[in-house]
Amino acid sequence: MNKTKKVIFDAAIKSFSKKGYHKSTMDEIAEAAGVAKGTLYYHFKSKEDIFKFIIDEGIKMIKEELYDKTKHLDDPTDKLRKVCEVQLKLVITYLPFFKTVLSQMWGDEDRQTHLREVLKKYFVLLEGYLLEAADESFINKNNIEIIAFNFFGVMTSTVVYNITHKDIDIEEVLDNLVEFLMRGIGKK
């Protein structure tokens, strides 16, 4: 992502997170990014284009981070732990991005449909990690698709916990989360 698009990306996330999609304006995004309105329109035709861009780029960054942090691991449970760690840390680090994602999950507008399609691709990635663990008999193979969605949901609710409990040890939360997830989807 080039430098201009990066500052627009960051400014749009802040605006969408703080004011919501509908109340954010192209003028505000341009001002927050420190670019001329013409520059904003040079890169994006509309606010909806900006939204789709931040979703595509944000999920791409998450996927790349997951790949980078798991590519050297052989044990499927180590990979699942790392997936939990990466998701949790990214959600905490990029909370405005995730607030934007969660706020736009519902609805039938083009950007919302686009968001759900991008997230489905991310869930397929999660399914791959879960299937690998299932193939090694670390977890049950039943309902892997639903488990991937639940895996993400548990991570999201953990972030809510983190927001309401400011003085927590992320590593302790991570250990508890991984134990909970592995018991919840593990073999009996």
Distance CA 21, CA 178 (A): 33
Looking at the fold, whether 32 and 70 belong to one and the same domain comes out as no
Domain that includes residue 137, residue range: 47-185
Instruction: Please state, rounded to an integer, the average pLDDT across all residues of the chain.
Output: 87
Looking at the fold, whether 68 and 152 belong to one and the same domain comes out as yes
Indicate the number of domains in the chain.
2
187: left (phi over 0), alpha (psi -120 to 50) or beta: beta
Looking at the fold, whether 90 and 111 belong to one and the same domain comes out as yes
Looking at the fold, whether 40 and 62 belong to one and the same domain comes out as no
Looking at the fold, whether 113 and 26 belong to one and the same domain comes out as no
Instruction: Express each pLDDT in 165-174 by its tens digit.
Output: 777 777 777 7
Looking at the fold, whether 39 and 110 belong to one and the same domain comes out as no
Predicted confidence (pLDDT) at residue 159 exceeds the cutoff of 70: no
- CB burial readout 104-143, b (16+ within 10 A) else e: beeeeeebbebbeebbeebbebbbebbbbbbeeebbeeee
CATH number at residue 31: 1.10.10.60
User: What are the distances in angstroms from CA 101 to CA 82, 113, 116?
Assistant: 22, 12, 9
Looking at the fold, whether 174 and 90 belong to one and the same domain comes out as yes
Q: Are 9 and 37 in contact (CB under 8 A)?
A: no
Instruction: Express each pLDDT in 22-70 by its tens digit.
Output: 999 999 999 999 999 999 999 999 999 999 999 999 999 999 999 999 9
Looking at the fold, whether 117 and 180 belong to one and the same domain comes out as yes
Determine what percent of the chain is predicted with pLDDT higher than 90. 51
At residue 69, the pLDDT reads 94
Distance CA 8, CA 47 (A): 11
Q: Are 96 and 13 in contact (CB under 8 A)?
A: yes
pLDDT band at 187 (very low <50, low <70, confident <90, very high): low
Looking at the fold, whether 99 and 171 belong to one and the same domain comes out as yes
Distance CA 85, CA 83 (A): 5
**Lowest-pLDDT choice from 25-29, 87-91, 98-102, 146-150:** 87-91
